[in-house]
Structures are given as C-alpha cells and as structure tokens.
Amino acid sequence: MHPSIPVALVTGASRGLGTVIADVLAARGHDLVIGARDVEALGRAAERLSHHGRTVVPVDGDITDARTRARYIEAAERLGGLDVLVNNASELGTIGPLVSFDVPRFGRLYPVNVGAPLALTQLAVPLLSARRGLIVNITSDAAVSAYPGWGPYGATKAALELVTRTLAAELTEQGVAAVLVDPGDMRTRMHQEAFPHEDISDRPLPEVTTPFWHWLFAQDRERVRGQRLLAQQEEGAWLRAV
C-alpha cells in the first residue's frame, strides 16, 4: 500500500460504537484493520465499511489471545503502518453488588478491559511512533462514578484510565499521544445486557457520537494528549470535558 494512506486499527468493531468509529475513520480516508470475536458479524461490518473505497482487513479472535494481537499488528504492517489505535473491545461482566461478586471473575474482566489494550499498545507503539500516531482508549462514566452494581466493570475502566494517562506521559518523546473517550449512555448490546428486562430505546444510538469522532481525528495530537473527553458533549465543549 502507498505509505501516505493513513491506517487505523479498531477493536470491538463488528457492531455498535466500534463500527461507528471505524466508519468515521474510513470516511476520513483511513485503511482499516478491524477486530472482533464474532466472525460473521465482523465480515458484515467489513463489507459495509469497504463501501468507502478503503481497504478493510478483518481479524477475528479473542483480544486476550497474544496470537490475535499479533495478527492485528501484522495486518497493519501489511497496510503500511499505523496512525490510530482504538481500543474499544471490552466486557461488561455481571451487574450486581460487590459484596456478592464472584471475585475470580476479575480474572476475565481485567485481561479484556485493561491487559489486552495495554498489550496491544505495546506492540503498536513502534508503528504509531513512526507516524506520530494516536491511541484512543474507550472508558465509561462507571470509572469515575460509584454506580451500584457496576463496581467490577467500573474498576477495570478506572484502571484503564490510569494506564492511559500514564501512557500519554511516557510516550511524549516517541510522538505518540493517548486519550480517553467516554462515549456516554447509548443503545448498544452491552447496555442491553446490563438491563436485560428493561426498554432502553430512549438511549441514543452510537451514531450520535459521529460528530465527535470527526472532530477528534482532525485534532493535532499534542492538543488532546492525556485528555478525558465526553463524546456526547455539545460541539466545542469536548476539550473541556475532563
């Protein structure tokens, strides 16, 4: 591929917010590597995204598997490099009080929500550094608010927030920026899983965040380094959303 074409890698991109982010990146001229566990859903997403005329490489597999992460990076290398890494894949776990939480389940939640994004970032940094790239880690208001029942998930997102801020500080000399994005309450499969017997049709679809993503990917990397941004803020307020 021609080296001037920007390349983005988006995990959890088979549906919902991940597909919205990938769609914005493709519309902005990026070739894509997209990942998810559901092979069929990932294939459908790749077909839709390819309508932008960009190359889209689907990579299926569990993000906690080192072989899957290696395949992501190999795909990006074949496309010529990497400009944007979006760590969107995450797992909700069980909604319920901490006093009855099955603590060993952290053995799944932390690897998915914290360990895998960090491990993938470690592999991606050489490619990102070559293009002064951007790392986008998807967080949640559960990371900063004590919502009853959301403690385990929130704990993993709080850890991801500290990891991201530290990366933003440590990667300055390499020219790689890292940001946190809280997409807000949305009508997604994960949110429905949190409220299996409730009607969540009053929540906006993930497409509501589209203007924010166009704004973010147009920013100078240093302007947003280390920021925590709220994707459903009104335009012009995103940088003040820490």
153 is a catalytic site residue: yes
Cβ atoms of 135 and 167 closer than 8 Å: yes
Decide if 182 contacts 231 (C-beta within 8 A).
yes
Q: What are the CA-CA distances from residue 126 to residues 12, 87, 136 (Å)?
A: 22, 17, 16
Q: Position 102: which residue type?
A: D
Distance from C-alpha of 166 to C-alpha of 33, rounded to nearest angstrom: 25
Q: Which of 72, 110, 147, 153 is catalytic?
A: 153
How many Å separate Cα 67 from the centre of its chain? Answer: 19
Alpha helices (runs of H) in 132-220, residue ranges in sequence order: 151-170, 189-194, 210-217
Q: In sequence order, which residues have a C-beta less than 8 Å from that of residue 53 and are 6 or more positions away?
A: none
DSSP 8-state class, residue 2: -
Q: Among all residues, which ones are annotated catalytic? A: 153
